[in-house]
Amino acid sequence: MGQINASTDSWLLPLNVSNDFVFNPSPRDFSVEEIPLYDFSGEGEHLIVKVRKKNLSTWELTDLLSNQLGIPRRQIGYAGLKDKHALTTQYLSLPASCEKKLEAFAHDGVTILERTCHANRLRIGHLKGNRFRLRFKKVLGVQKEKIDRVTEWIESHGMPNYFGLQRFGVEGNNWQEGQQIVQGKLRMRDRKMREFLVGSYQSKLFNDWLSRRIRISRLLEEFSAAETERLENLEEGALAGTKEQSHFFKILCGDVMMHYPYGRIFYAEDLPSEAEKFAAADRAPTGLLPGRKVKRALAPARAVEAEYDDEAIRETGSRRYAWVFPSEIHRRYVPEKAHYELSFTLPKGSYATVLVAMLKGKFS
């Protein structure tokens, strides 16, 4: 495995943009609404609770519920972790026996919106996606025009599916502890914390791989496939069939593809056909979260992927979309306040902060 990037500042974005509007995530300017994976049945041994919270992480919310309801936190299910510095709406599952105690639950930052029953407990990933609403400030004429142009590009082409900076902790170095665990240099008794830190390391490897692939795609905008192969130290012919693809993000032979927005995975063999269907948002290439029991890319895509694959990771690996297509994008500009309001829907596991990074031209 090659040397991974030490800094998140080195992650590349598709567009060369610089925009300095203000976005400070807060419940007034940032809201998230979870979209359930399925309709709840109204019957069963689990109580499904729709909760609106502010200035609380999902973990802090589950701690509150655990303490006030007198149940272990492990009995509380949730489909996804929601931002702390936002107004967020999400679903939790509780034992049905908690219903009466829940009536007495009270906290300034939490509102119980709905309750129903269901046969199954909620688990991580049991959601379709999330709706986001953001308000940017100090957006003057030139800043507005830049946001308009980038959001139009995203509507047409989608965006890279990086993990957001919040995945890596306040200091941005959670992945380093995960790497030390994998290398046997750090012992962690808490299983959940170990999985979280190793997951951060897996996420860092994925982001570094995705940045490399974006760099290759950007080079192909300026140079021939043969010239890009030399610049990237790739074997001759590794980028055959990429230059003529219409989408910015170039698919390589041997990439692991997945039908979009969900479906089975398979290898890219017929590049012209796969590239055309990718451009139509019918499927998308995936990147590797290294670990056990996961499908790896084939050559020549594997030559790039292998540099970001730590085969010492014993946790289960997976594939993640390298590229996603935000939907239901709506824009509203308020000139008298210099505010720009933007709403959109992302599939599960994708980060609104990455879309903001696209608009600003940097991760920050």
- The per-type count for the chain, helices as H runs and strands as E runs, is 9, 14
Element (H, E) at 180: helix 174-182
Active-site position among 9, 39, 83, 309: 83
Interatomic CA distance for residues 186 and 167, integer angstroms: 20
The β-bridge partners of 90 are 51
Task: Identify the residue whose tokens are 């299910």.
Answer: 77
Residue 234 tokens, joined: 């790739």
Q: What is the DSSP string of 24-72?
A: ---TTTEEEEEEESS---S-SSEEEEEEEEES--HHHHHHHHHHHHT--
Helix (H) or strand (E) holding 217: helix 191-222
Residue 111 amino acid letter: T
Phi first, then psi, for residue 265 (nearest 5°) are -105, 155
Is 83 considered catalytic here? Answer: yes
* Rg, the chain, Cα only: 22
DSSP state of 301: H
**Residues involved in catalysis:** 83
